[in-house]
């Protein structure tokens, strides 16, 4: 019996959130006295897969079917289920991403398993009890959940696990084939549009995010957000009101009804900090708020705050960021 970790790729490399999941999975395996195996799908570099050994993964099962380069939930579920059956895996670990959530719920039905999402801590294993802690109510509270099914499926919250790196350790990479038929791709979208930010960094995977709100006073000032993002190697984002009034495209909207992000650094310029916005960014490791209103709610959630007009503060930050590169 092993622990199976599903890892996601981006441009041939393993996503940071999946490295966190791999670390989590290997630590669960260690606590259970077993090994951790990863399953990878689609366009992922095999060298990157072998480096998963640094996170404690002993073996990687890789299905390189060209049709899997595009995410199709039913096909992904079939591949992961095949890997779980082959490895007799009773614990499956994913990142709590859009893909992880879609695949995890379908697998829970297919494997008759217990599913816990947004998990923040390693499980407490005591006799027949397998208890995990998960964030609820947009991260405002935590719940302990006992997973009672034979198969346990865990979606790990981003930035909740420190990535371990045992330099030099490698995992063996083995081919996996789930004998996929055309019917497994019936739900595939006819056209895929990859939403990329102006800085070339995908918002969901960005380590740094620079976000703007109505305090930017108009789309003509957005070049300040984009310039700071470029200097920091960051993605750009915005609040819901900004996308609603057409200043920025909807795919940059961060919040409860938009994209949820978990960067190491989130810079919010001219955003008041409504509860719906906070729900989408409260997993960020460090939050910096720039707002001319000292009573803005966002300051209560901030690690660092600057009271000032964003249009005056941002040029100074850009200048400082440029100085760091010299």
Decide if 215 contacts 310 (C-beta within 8 A): yes
Cα distances (Å, whole numbers) of residue 273 to 21, 280, 282, 302: 30, 11, 11, 10
First to last CA, the chain: 53
Which amino acids are annotated as binding site for FAD, given as ranges? 214, 270-277, 291
Q: Tell me which DSSP letter residue 236 carries.
A: E
What is the C-alpha separation between 292 and 295, in angstroms, rounded? 9
Backbone angles phi, psi at 156, to 5 degrees: -90, 130
Q: Which positions ≥6 away from 260 have C-beta within 8 Å? A: 254, 279, 280, 281, 283
Q: Which positions ≥6 away from 66 have C-beta within 8 Å? A: none
Which amino acids are annotated as binding site, given as ranges? 214, 270-277, 291
């Amino acid at each position: 019996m092993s622990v199976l970790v599903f890892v996601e790729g981006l441009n041939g490399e393993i996503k940071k959130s999946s490295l966190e999941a791999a670390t989590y999975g290997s630590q669960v395996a260690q606590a259970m006295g077993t090994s951790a195996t990863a399953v990878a799908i689609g366009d992922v570099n095999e060298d990157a897969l072998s480096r998963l050994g640094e996170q404690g993964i002993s073996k990687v099962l890789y299905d390189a079917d060209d049709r899997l380069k595009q995410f199709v939930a039913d096909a992904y579920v079939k591949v992961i289920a095949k890997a779980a059956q082959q490895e007799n895996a009773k614990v499956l670990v994913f990142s709590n991403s859009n893909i992880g959530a879609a695949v995890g719920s379908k697998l829970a039905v297919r494997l008759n398993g217990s599913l816990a999402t947004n998990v923040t801590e390693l499980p407490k294993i005591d006799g027949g009890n397998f208890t995990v802690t998960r964030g609820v109510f947009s991260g405002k509270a935590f719940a302990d959940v006992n997973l009672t099914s034979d198969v346990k499926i865990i979606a790990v919250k981003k930035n909740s696990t420190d990535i371990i790196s045992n330099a030099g350790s490698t995992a063996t990479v083995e081919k996996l084939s789930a004998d996929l038929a055309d019917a497994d791709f019936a739900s595939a979208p006819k056209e895929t549009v990859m939403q990329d930010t102006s800085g070339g960094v995908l918002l969901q995977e960005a380590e740094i995010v620079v976000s703007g709100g109505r305090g930017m006073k108009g789309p003509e000032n957005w070049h300040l957000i984009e310039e700071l993002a470029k200097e920091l190697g960051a993605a750009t984002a915005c609040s819901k009101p900004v996308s609603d009034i057409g200043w920025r495209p909807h795919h940059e909207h961060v919040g409860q009804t938009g994209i949820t992000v978990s960067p190491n650094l989130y810079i919010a310029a001219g955003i008041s900090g409504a509860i719906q916005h906070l729900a989408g960014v409260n997993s960020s490791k460090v939050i910096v708020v720039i707002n001319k209103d000292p009573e803005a709610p966002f300051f209560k959630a901030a690690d660092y705050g600057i009271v000032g007009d964003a249009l005056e503060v941002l040029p100074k930050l850009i200048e400082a960021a440029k100085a760091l590169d010299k």
